Amino acid sequence: MKTILVTGGSGMIGRRLSEILREKGYHVIWLSQERHVNGGIPRYRWNYLKNEIDREALEQADVIIHLAGSNLGDETWTRRKKQEIVESRVQTSKLLLETIKSMPKKPEAFISASAVGYYGMHTSDKIYTEEDQPAKNDFLSRTCKKWEAAASGFQEELGLRTVVLRTAFVISDKSEGFKKMMLPTRFGLGAPLGSGRQYMPWIQLDDLCMIYLKAVEEDGMQGIFNAVSPESITNAVFMKTGAKEMKRPFFIPKIPAFMLRLFMGEAAGMVLEGSRVSPQKIIDRGYQFLYPTAVEAIRSSL
């Protein structure tokens, strides 16, 4: 039975992924803010700000799944918040790498999160693939580039099989982002965000977790993969679909972009802009989506 070490295990993705891994018979442990090794999922302490990490967790790990990172959408992107967003992803990766380099036992694989924000916060008709370059002069894209560069060190410096999953907007009844997006619709105030013409790459939570499981189990899987559903739809279509599934009206005028920017600042670009992203690479590896359409994903999550 392999031991899977998950960082960011207490988050939405980490909790569901840990459930699935345990159901499959894996031993799951977390790196967390507090040590508690006698719980259902043993937790080992780390603190990247102090460069501290419990080496016992790394000594056990056969595979590391790195999900840790400050929430992108929980507050406006002040200078302090931006620094926290970057460091919580990049410095944690570097702490893991430097610690493992000093240890005799190495894990078999390193699997890291990233985001489709790599392609930039803009709207176009282009369909992005893993071969495309990151956007320029875009905070989220620069962050993803640094994030992925830190992950690549595990392959370049240690020769570990490394997988990076560029993740789209996650649909789940546990997703705070999804709940916030659907909240006005629950009160009959559903409307497109901004122009509504921006594409909205998305993935249902269980599909995302099953792709992580695939990355754990397939020894030949490595490199970068888009973790995004095969259906490309605009924000207007997505919001209208949600309203239909909730049996709520959808006739309110579009929510002006300036209002979202007023409340969210620069972070509003995550919902006001968006292009199509291709999942063909993971499909070519044999992955079959559980929720290939927004109707199915939204219905499963309301």
Question: What is the model's pLDDT at position 272?
Answer: 85
Q: Quick one: average pLDDT of 170-192? A: 87
Residue 172 DSSP label: -
The helix (run of H) or strand (run of E) holding residue 61 is none
| Averaged pLDDT for residues 260-289 | 90
Q: pLDDT digits over 92-130, tens only?
A: 999 999 999 999 999 999 999 999 999 998 898 899 999
Q: Is the pLDDT of residue 262 over 90?
A: no
pLDDT of residue 269: 84
What confidence tier does 31 reach under pLDDT thresholds 50, 70, 90? Answer: very high
Is CATH 3.40.50.720 correct for 3-170+203-228+277-287? yes
Q: What is the pLDDT of residues 214-240, one digit of tens each?
A: 999 999 999 999 999 999 999 999 999
Banded pLDDT at 60 (limits 50, 70, 90): very high
> Is it the case that residue 175 has pLDDT exceeding 80?
yes
Mean pLDDT of 190-194: 87
Predicted pLDDT at 22: 97
Distance CA 124, CA 232 (A): 12
Calpha distance 229→167 (Å, rounded): 10
Averaged pLDDT for residues 180-201: 87
**In this model, does residue 298 exceed pLDDT 90?**
yes
Quickly state the pLDDT bin for 157 (edges 50, 70, 90): very high
User: Is 80 exceeded by the pLDDT of residue 91?
Assistant: yes
Give the per-residue pLDDT at 181. 84
Helix (H) or strand (E) holding 113: strand 109-115
* pLDDT of 28: 98
How is the chain split into domains, by residue range?
3-170+203-228+277-287
Angstrom distance (rounded) from CA 22 to CA 81: 34
Residue 222, Cβ density class (10 Å: 0-12 exposed, 13-18 middle, ≥19 buried): middle
This prediction's pTM: 0.94
Q: What is the pLDDT of residue 258?
A: 81
Residue 183 has a pLDDT of: 86
Query: What six digits make up the tokens of 111?
Result: 């699997």
Report the pLDDT averaged over residues 54-75: 93
What is the three-class DSSP state of 3?
Answer: strand
Kindly report which listed range (13-22, 148-157, 240-249) carries the lowest average pLDDT score. 240-249
Q: Residue 260 corresponds to which tokens in the numbers above?
A: 């979202």
